[in-house]
Amino acid sequence: MTFDPKGFTEVLLDVILFECASQPKNKYTFRELACAFYNSLLLLRFDSNLNSSSSHVYIQKHKLYTTQGLIQYIHSLHRGGNNDYSPYPNHAIRKVLWNSFDNDACYDEEFVYLRACSSTEVDNFFSNYAEKVPSAFHDYIAAVVEHLRDCCWDEHRGSGGVGVVLSSLAGTLGVAKYSMEHNAHERLRRRQYLPDKIARQTSFSQRFQVAQMGREYRERVRLEREYRERERLERDVRLMQKKKEEARRMQMEEVRRMQKEKEDQERERILKDMRRMQKEKEDQEQERILRDMRRMRIIEGYKANQQRLLQQQLQHIDAPHLADINLYLNELKLQAATADTRRNVETLRQTLETTLRTHPRFRNAEVSLFGSFESGLSTLTSDADFTVSNLMGLTIEPIHDLARALQLSGYGPIKTVADARVPIVTFTGQGIRCDMNINQPMGVFNSQLIHAYQKIDTRFLGIWFGLRSLADRHGILNGKNRYLTSYALTMMLIVFLQDVTSPPILPRLQQQSTYKMTTRIIDGYLCAYDKDARNYSELAAKNTKTHGELLKEFCQYFGHTFNYATQEVNPRLGVIRNRSVKPPPRTLTDSRLKDWSICVLDPFIADRNVTGNCRGINVAVIQRCFRTVHDALVKDDIKKAFKV
């Protein structure tokens, strides 16, 4: 049903007149009536529960909140109100002159005369209000009357009646007798009252039927009351259940919170225990290292004597031979990457980092260089190795996310090797072949350690390129075929220059004083060494041998002296000694230990053998290669030594 603002305003006028007539005085100025309309306008306009009707627009349009506007509106009506239930016909609302004196001041005001209504007129008014006024107006009228009683007629209550909460207006207060619910019950009561009236005017049988109808009516009323009571009880039960569920939910949240706190405390306790155990382990390792170093000092004299004997055995090699070897090694050093190439690789690293950060999942990515370009052992044809860290929001296979990001950035051709031990993406950038993996900081730190060693003495590069060339041409520099890797060969060279040469050329960078060390925790391992190579230049200068002599001594040692079955190359301690690390089980189901035919340990992961994949026949080939090269170099047969 459409809300009629005109009809509502006319009904509101009749109700205001009726309420005013129920008060002690019977004369009201038009100013007072206009004030009532003004307060009604404010309520209907600014109350969010009542402003859905447009009645306040109608009141404001006709200016009923002013004296002149209200007088014109009343005179425009055919009678005093809109409905024939109004107890005030046209002649009852008269405009007269009322002179009142207050503090000797005279005011001429227009007023209306409203006589008091009889009880019959009051009953007829509310009966006709319930029957003839549209139900849509009832709750709005009830709310307005309640508001006027509070703000305009605060000294009396008009026609009386209690206040109720109007459910249709979201809990707004209103006068019960004007509300829609009350008048709906009133209409029902009046309709059921009619049979009783008829019963008094009919015969006995008819009265009996009417009585029966009355009993049925009362029974229906009783059932209706029971139904409402049952609904109320069910509503209360639902409310109690909702409260219980809320209490249960809060209790479960409290239990989860306490459980989380308990788990956090337990995790913190475990971390503390792990740190304590790690510290104890490090202290024990340090004590063991100190014991080993004391033993090393004891046998140092013995090694020096052996070295002097070795020098005496090599005295038959004449100077021209050494000159030829040194010349060839100098030629091999020309394979090293130039400074321009290294700068190009660094520029590529910065470009890759900037490009990857344009993708949402790589917003905080850091690209680091490792491998030969970071260690300083790169050649003109070496690949550039990169690792990416500080990633977020990746999928189960992040290597594919990295490949997609590189492809979208214009790099290619892209090749993903996802089934490797460390998954990588290969591509070409700025004309340089590149390999990139994810979260491998240990590789970066290893490369930086090698770089620190090779910067100490210039002979390191000559020996390294010589070893790399002869190992490659003799087929023993191939980790995929279970021979030596470049990394393992580098560790063997470093330890040889630390422990075998006399006097030593390289220091033990991982065994220096704590204040000199650069320390990091990577994957749970304590990684530390002295990065400042300038501290050890004088140590290297004490050994005056050429890189050709040192290369021959290396091949002699690993071809004739080193015991592959029982000794280990330990770069962390900088010594070659009897094995101290047990091999791991072969598989999860096979508890037998692996067969390590050669043992070259990692400088930071103490129990990792970087040559663990080498097997017996291949190790024999490696030893035979070093013997062959040594014998050829002794005879100055460079072609045989390097297979050129």
pLDDT at 425 (0 to 100): 93
Give CA–CA dist 561/307, Å, rounded: 12
Q: In Å, what is the CA distance from 367 to each residue of 183, 349, 384, 437, 441?
A: 80, 6, 12, 10, 10
Higher pLDDT, 412 or 529: 529
- If you count them, how many residues does the chain have? 644
pLDDT at 154 (0 to 100): 65
H or E element at residue 175:
strand 172-175
Q: What is the mean pLDDT of residues 192-205?
A: 57
Give CA–CA dist 640/470, Å, rounded: 10
Q: In one letter, which amino acid is 167?
A: S
- Model confidence at 114, in pLDDT bands (50, 70, 90)? confident
Give CA–CA dist 578/292, Å, rounded: 12
423 dihedral zone (left: phi>0; alpha: psi -120 to 50; beta): beta
607 pLDDT above the threshold of 70: yes
Q: What is the DSSP letter of 597?
A: S
- Render pLDDT for 25-71 as a digit per residue (tens, 0 to 9): 777 788 888 888 888 888 888 887 787 778 888 888 888 889 888 88
pLDDT at 194 (0 to 100): 56
Q: What is the mean pLDDT of residues 589-596?
A: 78
Angle between helices 441-454 and 486-495 (to 10 degrees): 40
Give CA–CA dist 177/633, Å, rounded: 122
Give CA–CA dist 192/210, Å, rounded: 11
Q: What is the DSSP string of 240-256?
A: HHHHHHHHHHHHHHHHH
Q: What is the mean pLDDT of residues 241-263?
A: 91
Under 8 Å between Cβ of 101 and 95: no
pLDDT at 49 (0 to 100): 79
Q: What is the mean pLDDT of residues 434-458?
A: 90
97 pLDDT above the threshold of 60: no
Higher pLDDT, 426 or 290: 426
587 dihedral zone (left: phi>0; alpha: psi -120 to 50; beta): beta
pLDDT at 176 (0 to 100): 84
Percent of the chain residues topping a pLDDT of 90: 23
375 pLDDT above the threshold of 80: yes
Q: Per the structure block, which two tokens stand in for 619? A: 């190790």
pLDDT at 301 (0 to 100): 56
CB burial readout 20-55, b (16+ within 10 A) else e: bbbbeeeebbbebbbbbbbbbbebbeebeebeebeb
405 pLDDT above the threshold of 60: yes
Q: Where are the beta strands (DSSP E) in 25-132?
A: 27-29, 96-102, 105-113
196 pLDDT above the threshold of 70: no
Under 8 Å between Cβ of 314 and 545: no
Q: What is the DSSP letter of 500?
A: I
Give CA–CA dist 402/395, Å, rounded: 10
pLDDT at 80 (0 to 100): 42
pLDDT at 193 (0 to 100): 63
Angle, vertex CA 504, rays to CA 315 and CA 610, nearest 5 = 110
Residues whose CB is less than 8 angstroms from the CB of residue 310 and which lie 6 or more positions away in sequence, other chains included: 553, 556
Q: In one letter, which amino acid is 442?
A: M
pLDDT at 450 (0 to 100): 92
For 27-30, the CB contacts below 8 A with 24+ separation are 27/98, 27/111, 27/112, 27/113, 27/114, 28/111, 28/112, 28/114, 29/67, 29/98, 29/109, 29/110, 29/111, 30/67, 30/70, 30/71, 30/95, 30/109, 30/110, 30/111, 30/112
Q: In one letter, which amino acid is 510?
A: Q
566 pLDDT above the threshold of 80: yes
Cis peptide before 195 (omega within 30 of 0): no
> H/E/C letters for each residue in 525-542?
EEEEECCCHHHHHHHHHC
Give CA–CA dist 111/424, Å, rounded: 98
pLDDT at 324 (0 to 100): 78
Q: In one letter, which amino acid is 134?
A: P
Q: Per the structure block, which two tokens stand in for 462? A: 């000559």
82 pLDDT above the threshold of 70: no
Q: Per the structure block, which two tokens stand in for 500? A: 């075998």
Give CA–CA dist 283/269, Å, rounded: 21
Give CA–CA dist 6/112, Å, rounded: 22
- Model confidence at 314, in pLDDT bands (50, 70, 90)? very low
Under 8 Å between Cβ of 30 and 69: no
pLDDT at 87 (0 to 100): 57
- Model confidence at 306, in pLDDT bands (50, 70, 90)? low
Q: What is the mean pLDDT of residues 157-182?
A: 81
Burial class (CB in 10 A: 0-12, 13-18, 19+), 103: exposed
201 pLDDT above the threshold of 80: no
Give CA–CA dist 617/493, Å, rounded: 22
483 dihedral zone (left: phi>0; alpha: psi -120 to 50; beta): beta
- Model confidence at 156, in pLDDT bands (50, 70, 90)? low
557 pLDDT above the threshold of 80: yes
Q: What is the mean pLDDT of residues 312-321?
A: 45
Q: In one letter, which amino acid is 8?
A: F
Q: What is the mean pLDDT of residues 633-639?
A: 87
| Averaged pLDDT score across all residues of the chain | 82
Q: In Å, what is the CA distance from 241 to each residue of 233, 237, 244, 249, 617?
A: 12, 6, 5, 12, 79
pLDDT at 94 (0 to 100): 41
Give CA–CA dist 114/88, Å, rounded: 8
> H/E/C letters for each residue in 287-326?
HHHHHHHHHHHHHHHHHHHHHHHHHHHHHHCCHHHHHHHH
155 pLDDT above the threshold of 70: no
434 pLDDT above the threshold of 80: yes
Neighbours of 66 (CB within 10 A): 15
- Model confidence at 303, in pLDDT bands (50, 70, 90)? low
- Model confidence at 91, in pLDDT bands (50, 70, 90)? very low
144 pLDDT above the threshold of 50: yes
Burial class (CB in 10 A: 0-12, 13-18, 19+), 147: buried
Residues whose CB is less than 8 angstroms from the CB of residue 340 and which lie 6 or more positions away in sequence, other chains included: none
Percent of the chain residues topping a pLDDT of 70: 86
pTM beyond 0.75: no
Q: In one letter, which amino acid is 97?
A: L
Give CA–CA dist 596/611, Å, rounded: 8
Give CA–CA dist 580/568, Å, rounded: 8
Give CA–CA dist 443/605, Å, rounded: 12
318 pLDDT above the threshold of 50: no
Give CA–CA dist 603/509, Å, rounded: 10
Neighbours of 364 (CB within 10 A): 11
